Chain A
Amino acid sequence: MPGKQLSSPCMDCRDADSVFMIRSRRLCRNCYIRFVDYKVFRRMEKYRLRKDIPKTGPCRLLLPLSCGLGSAALLHMIHTQIEDFRSKPYGPAGFDLHVLLIDLSCISSRRLPRDDIVEVLQRRFPLASFTQLPLHSIFEFVPDLQEVLPKYAGQGYADDYLLSSKERLDAFRASISSATSAADVDSILLNRLVVAFAKRIDCLGVLWGDSDDRLAARTLASVSKGRGSSLTWQVSDGMSPFGLEFNFPLRDLFTVELQNYANSFPELADIIVPDTPLSDNVLTKNLSIDQLMLRYVSSQGTKYPGVMSNVTRTANKLEAPRMLTDRRRCALCDSFIHDLGGPTMDDKKSSSLPEFCYACDRSRPGLS
């Protein structure tokens, strides 16, 4: 029987025309999706089979959802996995998925796609549960921050207890003038909210939706901001200093690959809010370090994707237990303070302040 005449057959199944090119292989839509799914599936095996965790009892994982491409695609992939293992009569116990939808409209131009988003998500992903929180609920989840923020900001910010949480957070953020520091503090607050929420609902770990290039950019940005030792939890899989396991299941996938994946599922179309592209006209000095690195990784990453993913892999090799620390924690970011000894590069140290780590100190208003 003569085979089907295909102009460029899929290199895996040879049964359909190839649609996508991935890692220099031409694949049809189904094989492409299988390939992408498998990358994430492999990363989730630990929880599906409950390796090194109790085989019975609850195993809940938190997925923070920003409605960006990464987290939305990750939600879709993991939900498919849950459907799959729950459909098997004698399958493993697996895990439960809770999704925390964070409204970032107060810190960025990113808005949630629609008002009834939680209901829509719940309908489309019935095997997961959902909660929606604004960023300023951080004051409710981490009450200590009410004390820390005024001390962190210094003279430029006077806290007013009579104001709403949102207004207080806005005033605090307005006291930070540099774009880099603002972005740095935003991501710290976001991380603390996610961690606090995950602990409140007894999650075992957090599944972050950062793709490979995002992680590479974050690695370079963290290093540039003096957060070298934070790489062990900011971009690496494993136990974080907060008592939760951090996982980055999309670490093997590039943004372009996720985009192709998402385009294949119409149910994702109205959930994903596309990133506003960085304008090329912004002067370098007005960018934040995070934006500079995203720009760097996207420009270099198109030419050298392997080099960029190697950055992430390299950072993942660092060993957190080797850290020199006496378990003191930074009052702002709550990670351990890396004690290097040797010269401190600060001009002054006043003891009345709560203790901040090197990098958080660098981002304090008036210092950068």
Chain B
Amino acid sequence: MAPTECFNCQKSRAVIIRPKNRHKLCRECFLAVFEAEVHETIISNSLFTRGERIAIGASGGKDSTVLASVLKTLNERHDYGLDLCLLSIDEGIKGYRDDSLETVKRNSRQYGMPLVIVGYGELYGWTMDQVVEQIGKKGNCTYCGVFRRQALDRGAERLGIKHVVTGHNADDVAETVMMNLLRGDLPRLSRGTNIVTGSSSSDIKRSKPLKYAYEKEIVLYAHHKQLDYFSTECIYSPEAFRGSARTLIKDLEKIRPSSILDIVRSGEEMAALVPIPDGGQAAPEEDSAVGGCGSQNGRTRGGEMAEMEKTLTENEAAASLETEIKISPLQTSAIPLPKRKNKPKKPQQKPTSKKQVLGKCERCGYITSQKWCHACTLLEGLNKSRPKTTIEMEISPEEEESSATLRRQMEQVQLTG
């Protein structure tokens, strides 16, 4: 069979079928089209300003490596005038992060970008390895996610940079839309689809220049540009089941390749329709709107659906117990007098719709709506169970019991956190 010509230049031999629209392209045309699309995203959303210093959140994985490479290329080609540097987080996971950080260090030399590494150990006094040792393999992703978000902000602060870009791709965003739809979390759905986030609650802006780029195309780009990236998944998440949303999206992509972008589009449309309580600002972003680690995005600890189902059933059961109260406004609406009877109900409802007031964490000064920020709350739990001295006395049965209680409380923290 004669080799197929490139759809674009009609000269070279096509070596790639674009996952996005099944066009057959040659290597050069594919790289050019991919870069042009990211450029288009950057320009039409006015992501950057001239002379801006940008930190690229770099994990050494495919997404952030491609992001760094593309931004470097575009910055030179279109003269954005950006000052780019790499910002990595060292979660302290042996056999995973130390290797991927080596990749980032090589990237830093290859692209001539300065690199800053911020470690969980120095920031929080806990590496992920220690956290896992403490709380076990289940649910530690909550800690990692909360810590990472703050660590990125603190790293950027240390560099004096106000804008962090991350490698979230279209698949990630589509997953967030589906996942939050299944979870019934509209505010988070809305935040996850925004290309720029976090500007209202933190002075550090975040953006996702690869928001419209397919994961498959990112892999192809990395492959054809022979980029140096690290492809091992986090050792703490391999057994986590592939999230319902992720599988669903892969199936959708088989039926209609454009559906990933269509979901992103739907997410954007829905984001505009999300009700805003009390006419105020949308809820501030405290957790990462798009899940933590690239490789385990959209995955959940098994049983998340089951847990959610349980809560919903309980809510429904509770709601059915409420029916008596619910009916009363209906009956009273016909008669003008008893309206007052409704009054005591109001203060009950108020607390739920209370507007979140942003303040500073009493411990670390990070922006939060609570007394302590999420990371400090988690740390408090961790530190409580850490022995204060290295040498320990024999544990009395009582103490052992209390530590078991604490562990149980910790598990509850994970569930609600």
**CB neighbors of B among A312-360 (8 A):** 313-315, 317-320, 322-324, 338, 340, 342-343, 345, 358-359
8 Å CB contact of A340 from B212, B248, B269: B269
Pick from A109-117, A126-134, A227-235 the stretch touching chain B. A227-235
8 Å CB contact of B186 from A179, A292, A318, A323: A318
Is the beta-carbon distance between A343 and B244 smaller than 8 angstroms? no
Q: Hey, which chain B residues are within 8 Å of A223, CB to CB?
A: 177-178, 181, 263, 266-267, 270
Is the beta-carbon distance between B312 and A306 smaller than 8 angstroms? yes
**CB neighbors of A among B153-201 (8 A):** 177-178, 181-186
A115 CB, nearest partner CB in chain B, Å: 37
Is the beta-carbon distance between B259 and A324 smaller than 8 angstroms? no
8 Å CB contact of A314 from B41, B186, B313, B316: B186
**CB neighbors of A among B297-324 (8 A):** 305-306, 308-309, 312-313, 316, 320
Given A224-B263, A226-B262, A318-B274: A303 and B255 within 8 A (CB)?
no
Is the beta-carbon distance between B186 and A317 smaller than 8 angstroms? yes
**What's the dominant secondary structure at chain B's contact region?**
helix
Pick from A94-102, A169-177, A267-275, A280-288 the stretch touching chain B. A280-288
Is the beta-carbon distance between A227 and B266 smaller than 8 angstroms? yes
Q: Digit string of A214-244 for contact with B (CB within 8 Å is 1, else 0)?
A: 0000011011111111011000000000000
Task: Across the interface, name the chain A residue whose C-beta is closest to B271.
Answer: A228
Given A228-B267, A362-B258: A342 and B252 within 8 A (CB)?
no
8 Å CB contact of B272 from A178, A219, A322, A345: A322
Q: Hey, which chain A residues are within 8 Å of B275, CB to CB?
A: 317-319, 322
Cα distance A302–B42 in the bound complex, in angstroms: 44
Interface size, chain A (Cβ < 8 Å): 52
Q: Hey, which chain B residues are within 8 Å of A287, CB to CB?
A: 255
Q: Hey, which chain B residues are within 8 Å of A311, CB to CB?
A: 181-182, 184
- Judged by a CB distance under 8 angstroms, whether B44 is at the interface is yes
- Judged by a CB distance under 8 angstroms, whether A310 is at the interface is yes
Cα distance A74–B221 in the bound complex, in angstroms: 53
Is the beta-carbon distance between A322 and B269 smaller than 8 angstroms? no
Q: Hey, which chain A residues are within 8 Å of B251, CB to CB?
A: 284, 292
8 Å CB contact of B252 from A224, A231, A314: A224
Task: Across the interface, name the chain A residue whose C-beta is closest to B245.
Answer: A220
Is the beta-carbon distance between A284 and B181 smaller than 8 angstroms? no
- Judged by a CB distance under 8 angstroms, whether B32 is at the interface is no
Is the beta-carbon distance between A224 and B305 smaller than 8 angstroms? no
| B248, B251, B254 interface centre (most CB from chain A within 10 Å) | B251
Cα distance A345–B274 in the bound complex, in angstroms: 23
Is the beta-carbon distance between B254 and A228 smaller than 8 angstroms? no
A21 CB, nearest partner CB in chain B, Å: 14
Cα distance A212–B40 in the bound complex, in angstroms: 41
8 Å CB contact of A306 from B244, B254, B265, B308: B308
- Judged by a CB distance under 8 angstroms, whether B256 is at the interface is yes
Is the beta-carbon distance between A304 and B270 smaller than 8 angstroms? no
B264 CB, nearest partner CB in chain A, Å: 9
Q: Hey, which chain B residues are within 8 Å of A8, CB to CB?
A: none
B110 CB, nearest partner CB in chain A, Å: 30
Is the beta-carbon distance between A307 and B273 smaller than 8 angstroms? no
- Judged by a CB distance under 8 angstroms, whether B342 is at the interface is no
Task: Across the interface, name the chain B residue whose C-beta is closest to A296.
Answer: B248
Q: Hey, which chain A residues are within 8 Å of B212, CB to CB?
A: 343, 345
8 Å CB contact of B256 from A180, A306, A345: A180
- Judged by a CB distance under 8 angstroms, whether A59 is at the interface is no
Q: Hey, which chain B residues are within 8 Å of A305, CB to CB?
A: 309
Q: Hey, which chain A residues are within 8 Å of B255, CB to CB?
A: 179-180, 284-285, 287-289, 292
B18 CB, nearest partner CB in chain A, Å: 12
Task: Across the interface, name the chain A residue whose C-beta is closest to B189.
Answer: A314
**CB neighbors of A among B222-265 (8 A):** 244, 248, 251-252, 254-256, 258-259, 261-263, 265
- Judged by a CB distance under 8 angstroms, whether B370 is at the interface is no
- Judged by a CB distance under 8 angstroms, whether B287 is at the interface is no
Task: Across the interface, name the chain B residue whose C-beta is closest to A359.
Answer: B262
B254 CB, nearest partner CB in chain A, Å: 4
A68 CB, nearest partner CB in chain B, Å: 24
- Judged by a CB distance under 8 angstroms, whether B268 is at the interface is yes
Cα distance A331–B127 in the bound complex, in angstroms: 58
Cα distance A180–B177 in the bound complex, in angstroms: 20
Cα distance A346–B275 in the bound complex, in angstroms: 29
Q: Hey, which chain A residues are within 8 Å of B40, CB to CB?
A: 343
Q: Hey, which chain A residues are within 8 Å of B270, CB to CB?
A: 223, 228-229, 231, 318
Given A228-B265, A296-B248, A306-B312: A343 and B273 within 8 A (CB)?
no
Q: Hey, which chain B residues are within 8 Å of A306, CB to CB?
A: 308-309, 312-313, 316
Cα distance A307–B181 in the bound complex, in angstroms: 10
Is the beta-carbon distance between A340 and B268 smaller than 8 angstroms? yes
Is the beta-carbon distance between B266 and A228 smaller than 8 angstroms? yes
Cα distance A311–B178 in the bound complex, in angstroms: 10
Task: Across the interface, name the chain B residue whose C-beta is closest to A230.
Answer: B269
Q: Hey, which chain A residues are within 8 Å of B409, CB to CB?
A: none
Given A300-B244, A342-B44: A318 and B273 within 8 A (CB)?
yes
Is the beta-carbon distance between A338 and B269 smaller than 8 angstroms? yes
- Judged by a CB distance under 8 angstroms, whether B45 is at the interface is yes
Is the beta-carbon distance between A345 and B266 smaller than 8 angstroms? no
Is the beta-carbon distance between B186 and A368 smaller than 8 angstroms? no
Cα distance A306–B306 in the bound complex, in angstroms: 10
Cα distance A219–B178 in the bound complex, in angstroms: 10
Q: Digit string of A156-187 for contact with B (CB within 8 Å is 1, else 0)?
A: 00000000000000000000001110000000
B311 CB, nearest partner CB in chain A, Å: 8
Is the beta-carbon distance between A292 and B272 smaller than 8 angstroms? no
Is the beta-carbon distance between A304 and B258 smaller than 8 angstroms? no
Cα distance A347–B261 in the bound complex, in angstroms: 13
Is the beta-carbon distance between B273 and A229 smaller than 8 angstroms? yes
| A and B contact pairs by CB, cutoff 8 A, 8 listed | A223-B270, A224-B262, A225-B256, A226-B262, A226-B266, A228-B266, A292-B251, A306-B309
Q: Enumerate the 3 nearest inter-chain pairs by beta-carbon distance, A residue then B residue, closest first.
A: A228-B266, A306-B312, A228-B269
Interface residue ranges, B against A (CB under 8 Å): 40-41, 44-45, 177-178, 181-186, 212, 244, 248, 251-252, 254-256, 258-259, 261-263, 265-270, 272-275, 305-306, 308-309, 312-313, 316, 320
Interface residue ranges, A against B (CB under 8 Å): 23-24, 178-180, 219-220, 222-229, 231-232, 284-285, 287-289, 292, 296, 300, 303-307, 309-311, 313-315, 317-320, 322-324, 338, 340, 342-343, 345, 358-359, 362, 368
10 additional A-B residue pairs with CB within 8 Å, beyond A24-B313, A287-B255, A307-B308: A223-B178, A224-B262, A225-B262, A226-B261, A227-B266, A229-B272, A306-B309, A313-B184, A318-B270, A343-B45
